[in-house]
């Protein structure tokens, strides 16, 4: 029968199995070493941050795995921080996209393919912000408009359930039009692209020709 090798910890003074020590050269046990490290970290926060910063810089894979694990363990903290720091979030996202253009290009392409309607809505809101237009509308509001016009193009009467549906700004954003639902009319792709940047209201046309 093998005899258990014991070693005395110089910190707590207790004899313990050698497996309770990190290495044979260590004079203090794992428990005491952890307690000492914890106290040292609390007493030296600046040195800890500097050391961690250097380690992350020299070990990008470690940083990646550490961040992934931390984010998974602290979802609520990240959510609150993002809500409290929108400007920093946008700046970080802008920098990340600049440093990884190909990755985000492929990501956007995949998202567009999987979510065409959401992507169109995002693009519409982006153009409205760029034009500094007043107001906004939701898909629920637009669906109510579609239902009112029986899912038909206000200009030509095409059934929009079988073709692309465009959310046309009656008064174009480029000419000072708002992004409120009252400035929106459903058109087919052909009619909207033909209208281009003209200020034309086809809603009366629908009422005259297609209303039941």
pLDDT in tens, 111-168: 888 887 777 778 888 888 888 889 888 889 999 999 999 999 999 999 999 998 999 9
Same domain, 198 and 145: yes
Residue 159 domain-assigned (yes or no): yes
Residue 150, in any domain of the structure = yes
Q: Which domain holds residue 205?
A: 139-209
Looking at the structure, do residues 122 and 143 belong to the same domain, yes or no?
no
Q: Are residues 152 and 120 both part of a single domain?
A: no
Nearest-angstrom CA–CA distance, 166 and 117: 11
| Residue 184 domain-assigned (yes or no) | yes
Same domain, 123 and 149: no
Greatest CA span in the chain, whole angstroms?
A: 101
Q: Rounded to 5 degrees, what angle do the CA atoms 70, 71, 72 make?
A: 90
Q: State the pTM of this model.
A: 0.51
Q: Are residues 143 and 193 in the same domain?
A: yes
Is the pLDDT score of 21 beyond 60?
A: yes
């Amino acid at each position: 029968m093998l005899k258990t090798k014991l070693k005395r910890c110089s910190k707590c003074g207790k004899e313990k199995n050698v497996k309770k020590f990190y290495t044979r050269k260590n004079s203090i046990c794992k428990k005491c070493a952890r307690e000492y490290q914890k106290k040292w970290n609390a007493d030296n926060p600046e040195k800890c941050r500097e050391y961690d910063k250097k380690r992350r810089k020299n070990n990008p894979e470690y940083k990646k795995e550490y961040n992934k694990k931390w984010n998974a363990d602290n979802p609520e903290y990240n959510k609150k921080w993002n809500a409290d720091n929108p400007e920093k979030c946008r700046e970080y996202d802008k920098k990340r996209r600049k440093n990884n253009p190909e990755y985000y290009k492929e990501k956007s392409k995949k998202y567009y393919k999987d979510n065409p309607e959401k992507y169109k809505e995002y693009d519409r809101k982006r153009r409205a912000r760029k034009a500094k237009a007043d107001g906004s509308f939701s898909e629920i509001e637009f669906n109510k408009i579609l239902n009112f016009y029986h899912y038909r193009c206000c200009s030509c009467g095409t059934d929009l359930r079988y073709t692309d549906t465009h959310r046309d700004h009656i008064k174009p954003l480029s000419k000072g039009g708002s992004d409120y639902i009252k400035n929106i009319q459903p058109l087919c792709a052909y009619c909207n692209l033909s209208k281009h940047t003209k200020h034309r209201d086809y809603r009366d046309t629908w009422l005259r020709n297609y209303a039941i």
